[in-house]
Structures are given as structure tokens and as C-alpha cells.
Structure 1
Amino acid sequence: MAISEYPSKLSLPQSNPGVVTVLDYLIIKFPYVDAQIWRQRMTAGKVHWHDGTLIHAHTPFETQQRVYYYREVDNEPQIPFQDTIVFQDEHLLVAYKPHFLAVTPGGQFVNECLQTRLRRRTGLDSLQALHRLDRVTAGLVIFSINPNTRHPYHELFKTRQVHKTYQAIANVSNSDNLVGQEWEVKNRIVPSEPRFRMQVVEGNANSHSVIRCVQQSAQQALFELTPVTGRTHQLRLHMQTLGWPILHDKYYPVLEPLSTDNYATPLQLLAKEIQFIDPITQQVRHFRCQDRLALLED
């Protein structure tokens, strides 16, 4: 049994959804977690309010309060790839995340994630990710170190003042001459079934990416992707829209059966660069990871 070293937090909604206790709400909120598991966590003192006061099975529901709990999983997988710190100052830490490593706890991962790894290594328990990458995507992730300066950095991402550049590889026809071409993709992305998978539907566009081809071999092409918006799985869906789904994508265009990770075939998507004007120092920040995606040789 793996137990998270750091609590997860949940904000209770502004209006009561028709429950009496916090336990009732947690059972509704997390339908795949057995009610008895929540009772056991509460008995063991692993569920509490923001001030540390323990929450028990009969604790009344309170709107807009934060609940903290410690996630548990059986047989947590260990990801055999190393993350690296690219930059660190008093406000920010920038790290390279390898494929298959989650940014924060989720699913079957509680301690084996980038945020927990970095907290252990640096001793900075206040370290918090400012944005996310899919677990199967590699690349740069920015963390806030100082809670007192965290809000301005959150605002950068919220107001789309962070410029990101990705790389992706897709299989292409050798009859296509794609190098130098550029595509602007705008469409509407909404949840599908199952809800962790997204889909493109008719309607007003809520996603926008600029994609261009920078290199090509007989079988594959390397693309540079610039997301203007940040919808879930946006780049993966936009590559599919163009007819070139990203190599080794297990979600798109077809959802593959659930299976263990194949470390030999990672999703060929890399968060390569990130640039913004630092709201604290007013300096231009430009970070680039050394890792790169490589085409199959002709």
C-alpha cells in the first residue's frame, strides 16, 4: 500500500448538493472509491479541514470549505526515468518531466509524480505546479516555490500570457511534401465517453493551435506545435484533425484497451519550450529542454 506523503485538497461547492455530511459528499464526488475506504481514512485521521481539525464520518457538510485527504493505492508503479531541474530561483523551479511520469498525484500514482519527487529532492514542501502536462507527454513544467508570489504566475497561465512550443512526430505518406507548411487549427473540443477522452464537435471554436512541419523522412514528419488555447488533449486532437495522429497515441484516433505502460513506445509529444515575461522581475523568461524527438532514419 502506497500512501501519499502530501495531502490532496478539495474545495466543497458553494451550494449543498443535498448531502448531510462531508462523507456523503465524498462518496458522491468519488464514485470509484468505496465508502468504507473513506470511513477508514477518517478513522485513521487522514481527512481534515484546512486548520487541521479532523473530519469524521458524521462531520456536517460545510459549503466552500477545503477538505484535505491522503490518497492511497495498492502497488504503486515506479517510473524508471529521471526528471531534471532546468532552472531554479527564489520564485520558480523549472523541471524536465520524462514520459509516463505524472506531474501531480492522480489515479494509481500518489508519490511517484514529478511534484513529490522534486519536493523530496529540494526539501521545498510548498512547491506547487503552475500548469500540467499529460502523464504520457514529456517536457518542461514550471513550479512555484514561494506561496507569496504564486498568484501572479497563476494569472500568467490563466490569461494566456505564456508562450509554449511543442514537438510531435506522426507517420506520413512519403508522397507528401510537408516541410515548411503551416496549419491553423480551430475547432470545438468537448468531453466524450469515457469522459477522460475528448472529441471535436460542431459549434463555436474553443481551441486554437498553429502547427507547422519542420522535418520529414520517408515515413514520418516532425511538427512544431504552438497552442494558443489550452484545452485538454488539444494538440493530440488537432494533429488527428489534420490527418496525422501523434505516434503511439493510445487515445486518438482510437481508444486502445487499458494496458500497462510500454516504455519502448512513448507518446511522441514533447513540451519543448516555454517563454513569458516574469511578473515579479519583468524579465523575459525563455526555457528550452535539451531532449528532442527523432525521426526514424530513411
Structure 2
Amino acid sequence: MAMRSPLPVRDGVGATRLHVPRTGPWATIADYMVERFFHLDADVLRERFDRGEIVSITGAALARDTPLGAEEFVWYYREPPVETPLPVVEEILHIDDDLIVLDKPHFLPTTPGGRYLQNSALVRLRNRLDNPDIAPIHRLDRPTAGLLLFSARPVTRGAYQLLFENRQVEKVYEAVSDLPEAWDPDAPALAGRAFPLIYRNHIEKLRGTVRVTVDDEREPNTETLIELLGFDEHVLHTLLRPHSGKMHQLRVHLAALGAGIRNDSFYPDLLDEMPDDYDRPLQLLARELRFIDPLSGKPREFRTRRTLQDAPGGETP
């Protein structure tokens, strides 16, 4: 069971939990945090203890001289960064007592992180609906647009999360890639494989890396069915049905087949980080979600209203 925060959600953002070692070369919890967050001003951090902003699991404020070992976890609110609002707008497609379906735009992160707090789908939803209990059931990469499911209340959240854990949700994506070299319009194929095709490999996300790694020597842990939607003289339009849900899976699979998704700065090559170019979003869209509702037993189906701007003809089939 998840550990419940002693601090309430504030401005749509939950408190941060920090694990503190029981033993070590630090006399106090404050000393550990000063070293742990070396990039922050030590005096400012200690003043946060003096103001009662660092608390234990009971919600009791910790002092700057609270000894190491007194608490295993502490909670605090992150100092909010100065954020420039993202010029993108999300749309709620469905809402009931238990489930919220959001149509996420490109560039909006699913959850707070890094320089994005208020500019995240989760915080925007919590503030918009005045519901601090909203939580994501699954996630999309920040560059990816399309369908996102959120739980509206904790009591039924686990039932929907299990659908994804047990691969009982049919997920459909679409992507646009530059037309591969040597493309034969009379015999459409990727890397010599005719459509529809299934691609598998083993991918893993290692700590401290921004991309996943591919290990062709290990048993595949990812699988995607790739179908042809269309093409023109410039681009290829594909439908993607992932059987697994590993990080960056669809981006890696298309890149491995010589059809890297348009405007992808990670695959096949990692490009230098640049400011967001809102005229060139990643051409990947979470298009459809289907599942049997675990509460009602009835089939549920949702479809995005968004389209990929580079799709042939400018429209989604």
C-alpha cells in the first residue's frame, strides 16, 4: 500500500517524500539534506526546518537539530519554479465519479517534474476540477499527444490500474515518419518486412540515462503490431498496437525499422536539447483506448479528437 502523505495537496501539487538514511556521517536530518541537495543554499534549507516546513509521517515539524535516525521519511513542498505557461490546451473527453479521460496536447507532461509543476496535466486537472485526489492511471511522454486516463478517487483507483498492469487495455497509436529510403509503393515494407508486421526487442531504461537501451542478445520484452495507414511522396503514416508498454517503445521500434518518428529528438539519434518548437511536435498520437470497465463490466472505448499535422492529406483516417 502506498504511504500516505501527511501534507495535503497544495495548488494541485502533492508534497515530496524523501527517504532519509538511519545511519551515516551526518549528525542531523538537516545535515543530510544539506549534503543531499548541495545545489541549494544551506542556510535557506535550514531555515525551512525553522519554519516547520519539513515534517515527519505524523505531520509533526522537524527541527534543524532533529538527529539522524529519528525518522526514515520526511515530507516537504518543493519550492515552485518560475514557470512560463505552456501555450497548449488539454481537453476533457469524459468524466464520471471514478474516471477522467483527458485529450493531452503535445508538450504537456503527464505529472509534475523538473521545471514543470503547474504546467502538467495532473496539476491542471486537480486545479480545474478542485479535486486533490486525482491521480494518473498511466502516462504519456511529454512530446506525445492523445488519450490519458486519470482516477478521480482513491477507492476505485486500483481496479483501473490493474487493467494496465495485466495488459487488459487495448491501446492504439498512430505515427508519421519520413518516407524511408528505397520505399517501394508497390510493395510497402519496413526493413524488408511487409505490412502488417510485428516487431519485438528487449529494451531497458537505465538510471541516469534519458534514452532506453536495446539489447538484442536478451529475450524480447516488447512487442508492437505495425499497420500501414497511408503514405505520400514525403511521409509514412502507421497505426501502432503495442502489446507491451515499455518506456519509448513505439519510438524505438519505428526507429529500428528505419522509420523514426518525425521530430523525435531521441531516436534514432539523440539531438542537443533545444527550446520547444510548437510548430514541430513529435508525430505520435495515443489515438484509442478500449477495455472492459472493472466496476460495471461494460465495454469502454475512447478516441482522441486530435490529429497529426504531418499525416498524408492532413487528416487522420
For this structure pair, what is the TM-score category when the shorter chain's length is used for normalisation? Answer: 0.7 to 0.9
Aligned to 2:234: 219
1:176 alignment counterpart: 184
Match of 1:289 among 297, 304, 308: 304
Matched, 1:53 2:60: yes
Asked if 1:34 is matched to 2:49, the reply is no
Q: Deviations over 1:171-200 (max 9, x none)?
A: 014733338812211111123585121121
What is the aligned partner in structure 2 of residue 90 from structure 1? 97
Q: What is the rounded CA distance, in whole Å, between the counterparts of 1:176 and 1:192 in structure 2?
A: 37
Separation in structure 1 between the aligned mates of residue 209 and residue 131 of structure 2, nearest angstrom: 34
Equivalent-residue separation in structure 2 for 1:248 and 1:188 (angstroms): 24
Residues 175/185 of structure 1: CA separation in 2 closer, same or farther (3 Å cut): closer
Residue-by-residue CA offset, 1:70-126 (whole Å, 9 max, x unaligned): 223443131111101000111111111111111110010111111111111111111
For 1:1-298, list aligned pairs within 5 A: 5-10=12-17, 12=19, 18=24, 22-23=29-30, 33-34=39-40, 36=42, 38-57=45-64, 58=66, 60-61=68-69, 67-173=74-180, 175-177=183-185, 178=188, 181-191=195-205, 195-201=209-215, 202-293=217-308, 294-295=310-311
Cα deviation 1:242-286 (Å, max 9, x = unaligned): 111110001111111122111111111111111111111111111
Q: What residue ranges of structure 1 are gaps of 5+ in the alignment?
A: none
What TM-score do you get using the length of structure 2 for normalisation?
0.82
In 2, Cα distance between equivalents of 1:23 and 1:292: 50
Distance 2:265 2:37 in 1: 25
Q: Percent identity?
A: 32
Q: Tell me how far 1:41 sits from its aligned partner.
A: 4.2
Alpha-carbon shift at residue 204 of structure 1 (Å): 1.5
Contact 2:224 2:243 in 1 (8 A): yes
Distance 1:190 1:150 in 2: 27
What is the Cα deviation at residue 206 of structure 1? 1.6
Write the distance in 2 (CA, Å) between the matches of 1:297 and 1:31.
Answer: 51
The one-letter code matched in structure 2 to 1:169 is V
- Which whole-Å CA distance do the structure 2 matches of 1:175 and 1:149 have between them? 48
Separation in structure 2 between the aligned mates of residue 283 and residue 175 of structure 1, nearest angstrom: 43
Change (3 A) 1:132 1:61: farther
Contact 2:93 2:103 in 1 (8 A): yes
Moved more, 201-210 or 265-274: 201-210
CA distance in 2, matches of 1:40, 1:210: 55
Cα contact 1:12–1:62 (8 A) shared by 2: no
Residue ranges of structure 2 left out of the alignment (5+ in a row): 1-9
Indicate conservation of the 8 Å contact 1:4/1:71, yes or no.
Answer: no
Aligned residue pairs: how many?
A: 293
Contact 1:77/1:108, CA 8 A, preserved across alignment: no
Asked whether the 8 Å contact 1:9–1:66 carries over to 2, the reply is: no
**Equivalent residue letter for 1:189:** I
**2: CA distance, partners of 1:203 / 1:247:** 28
Asked whether the 8 Å contact 2:237–2:312 carries over to 1, the reply is no
Letter in 2 for 1:91: D
Q: Secondary structure at the match of 2:199?
A: strand
